[in-house]
Structure 1
Amino acid sequence: MTLALDKPALEKGVLGKRGRRRLRKVADKAALALAVAVLLAPCLFVFFWMLSLSIKYDIDNTAWPPVFWPTEPTLDNFRHVFEESPMFLYFWNSVQVTGSATLVALLLGVPAGYGIAKAKANGLAAMLLLSRMTPGLSYLIPLFTLFQMLGMIGTVWPIALTHMVITLPIVVWIMIGFFETLPHELEEAARIDGANLWQAFRYVALPLARPGIVVGAILSFIYSWNNFIFGAVFAGRTTRTMPVAVYNMLTFESFAWGPLAAAAIVVMLPVLALTIVIQREIVQGLSAGGVK
């Protein structure tokens, strides 16, 4: 009789604990969602305002109080961007510069990251990180003098070479972290089976480091695509990149906010589309390790 009386009370206590746990989980998720929304709100508002500027007439862009969304959207600003400047040429220049800088950075950075990780050359890794942290303006004068002596000023190749200052340290630093997480037993087993160091790198370490390679390539592409200072200094009239094209939308008399915002969106779209398409690869690459 005592057990029969105590059983409902016991079940009620267990259900109460489960309810409190579920309530706590819901509250934690709600707090996390609120924190993410607060952090993302300024960034999302910037993108919204840029889009709003690009589809409004000048009278709405300079109106007070501000017009957050036009009653009659227009695409004249985008037409102005493509009619007043060879935007497709600038796009092709950016593709050449960013593609070559990213490809060469992968070809050199992945083996370099493997060698530094296996040799535990922390000093060399710190020097690479320091070169990435150094402002790009520090390289301008010596590189400009060098490329001027070689007669390369005004072509796309000085821009691609200088972008290696951006892309190569990123790839090397990311690959060092990935190769350091690889289990040594896998490479030792390959060496016991008769593989040399290059074969162990190619057939064992390289496939396992694929997520890191993808992340390094994506970050290198984004940073190289958005770089402005090297393209502004080394490019000629027909070899400008997309960020320099946005700068060309500025005038001395006034700011044409509509065409400027439209040009910024045109520059941003390739990187945004790439990030959306392969965002799963980015998350997997940042969370994966050698064992995984």
Structure 2
Amino acid sequence: MKTKKRMNILYYILILLVTLVFIFPFLWMILASLKTQAQIMSSDSLLFFKPTFENFISVFNEYDYIQFIFNSFIVALASTILGLIFGLPAAFAIARYKQHKFGFAILIARIVPGISFMIPWFIIFSKLSLVDSYTALVLSHMLVGLPFIIWIMISSFESLPQELEDAARIDGCTLQGAFVRVMLPLVTPGIITASLMSFILSWNNFMFALVLSGDRTKTLPIAIFNFMSYSEINWGALMAAAVIITLPILIISLLVQRYIISGITAGAVKG
């Protein structure tokens, strides 16, 4: 009995240590966003300091962060919706017809570094006069999110019994009708997981926005550069901007976390 208690205590201590390691950068970011530049650079003000909201005020007063938030939201939402429109039927077809080699090829496309697409992507959009447009950013972000959506949803569709589709076909549904009316509602957790992951990938994407965006379509990750110069870095405003970027994703993740867990584990157990 004593051995079991010791093991439980050790288990919770390990959980606490791992949690602290992962949560410390986020806590430090929040604390730094409430400090002045001098307090951030001083070790004496690590935990005890007089908080200020001047960093957040400067973020919205000196820089057009409402527009940056709007740009990031539009691009992330559009790329996620288009990714679902193309990715869900593709994942269903791969799972339905056992096209595992094709699924592996899509995974390879996801593994390839995005920077390898940068030059041809920029040349294409330059020729089409689409640089500094939402279209260019949405399509480039789909390059990252679409393979991820397909790969997640393949296992979700594979976990569904073939008999469900057969029953829908017997009742008069076409293949498309069975897909929309029967299959999609049953893989809702997987869809939510894939949507959230795709949204996060787009929301945090820096590389494509760096090359393809301009003053009109600048997104949040690029806007953070406003606080970095050759001579100094405005750490307080930088941390405040980082909190603004992180907070919406954190709130959404907490609200749908139970769907995320079931969506990630879909297809893990069959039979």
Question: What TM-score results when the alignment is normalised by the length of structure 1?
Answer: 0.87
- Determine which of 217, 224, 228 is the counterpart of 2:202: 224
8 Å CA contact 1:153–1:234 kept in 2: the answer is: yes
8 Å CA contact 2:152–2:264 kept in 1: the answer is: no
- What one-letter code is carried by the residue in structure 2 that aligns with 1:282? I
- Percent identity for Structure 1 against Structure 2: 36
8 Å CA contact 1:183–1:291 kept in 2: the answer is: no
Q: Flag as ranges the 4+ runs of structure 1 deviating above 3 A.
A: 26-32, 287-292
Q: Which has the greater radius of gyration?
A: 1
Q: Per-residue deviation at 1:124?
A: 0.9
In structure 2, distance between residues paired with 1:29 and 1:185: 44
Alignment of 1:122-141 (within 5 A): 122-141=100-119
Q: Deviations over 1:125-154 (max 9, x none)?
A: 111111111111111000000000000111
After superposition, the Cα gap between the structure-2 partners of 1:242 and 1:115, relative to the gap in structure 1 and judged at 3 Å, is: same
Q: Deviations over 1:1-27 (max 9, x none)?
A: xxxxxxxxxxxxxxxxxxx3x973x55
2:157 alignment counterpart: 179
Q: Deviations over 1:29-82 (max 9, x none)?
A: 43433232222222211011111211111111112x352124211111111111
- Determine which of 117, 120, 131 is the counterpart of 1:153: 131
8 Å CA contact 1:52–1:70 kept in 2: the answer is: no
Which region of structure 1 is more displaced relative to structure 2, 165-174 or 32-41? 32-41
- Determine which of 205, 217, 228 is the counterpart of 1:239: 217
1:4 alignment counterpart: none
Q: Per-residue deviation at 1:117?
A: 0.5
Q: Say if 2:96 is the partner of 1:118.
A: yes
1:36 alignment counterpart: 15
1:52 alignment counterpart: 31
RMSD, aligned CA: 1.9
Q: How many residue pairs get matched? A: 270
Which region of structure 1 is more displaced relative to structure 2, 274-283 or 187-196? 187-196
Q: Which runs of 5+ in 1 are unaligned?
A: 1-19
Which region of structure 1 is more displaced relative to structure 2, 282-291 or 38-47? 282-291
Q: Per-residue deviation at 1:273?
A: 1.1
2:120 alignment counterpart: 142
